[in-house]
Amino acid sequence: MRFPSSTNRTSRYQPVIPGIRSGWVVLLVVILGFASTPVSTAQLVEGRWQVLSEGPIADGRRHDDVVFINENEGWVVNLRGEVYGTKDGGSSWELLYSNPILGFRSTAFINDRIGFVGSLSSGRVLFQTFDGGRNWFDLTSRIKGTIPQSICGLWVVDENTIYGVGAFFGGPWFLKSTDGGVTWTSKLVGTGAKALVDVYFKNKNEGYAVGGTADVAQMLQGNAVVLRTIDGGSNWTQVHQTSHSLNVGGEWGWKISFPSELVGYVSLEYTGNNDNEPAKYLKTVDGGLTWTEHHIPGSTQVSGLQGIGFITEEIGWASGRGQTSATIDGGTTWQQISDYDPDTNPDGELDGRTNRIFVINSTLAYAVGAYTYRFDGSIPIHIAPESVPERPAQFQMDQNYPNPFQKSTTIGYTLFENVNVRITIRDILGRQVRTLLSEFQSPGTYTLTWNGRDDGGSRLANGTYLYLMDIGEHIEVKHAVLLR
pLDDT the model gives residue 19: 32
pLDDT the model gives residue 394: 62
pLDDT the model gives residue 302: 78
Which structural domains are found in the chain, ordered by start?
Answer: 23-376 (2.130.10.10), 395-482 (2.60.40.4070)
The torsion angle over the Cα atoms of residues 204, 210, 214 and 219, rounded to 10 degrees, is -130
pLDDT the model gives residue 472: 61
pLDDT the model gives residue 443: 87
Spell out, as residue ranges, where the chain has pLDDT lower than 70: 1-46, 379-394, 472-474
Short-list 380, 436, 382, 384, CA closest to 413:
436
What is the per-residue pLDDT across 417-440, written as a single tens digit (0 to 9) for each?
787 788 999 887 777 889 999 888
DSSP letter for 225, please.
E
What is the per-residue pLDDT across 217-276, written as a single tens digit (0 to 9) for each?
777 789 999 999 999 999 999 999 998 888 888 899 999 999 999 999 999 998 887 788
pLDDT the model gives residue 179: 96
Q: What is the spatial distance between Cα 484 and Cα 482, in angstroms, rounded to a whole number?
A: 7
Question: φ and ψ at 427, to 5 degrees?
Answer: -80, 180
Short-list 74, 148, 78, 152, CA closest to 115:
74
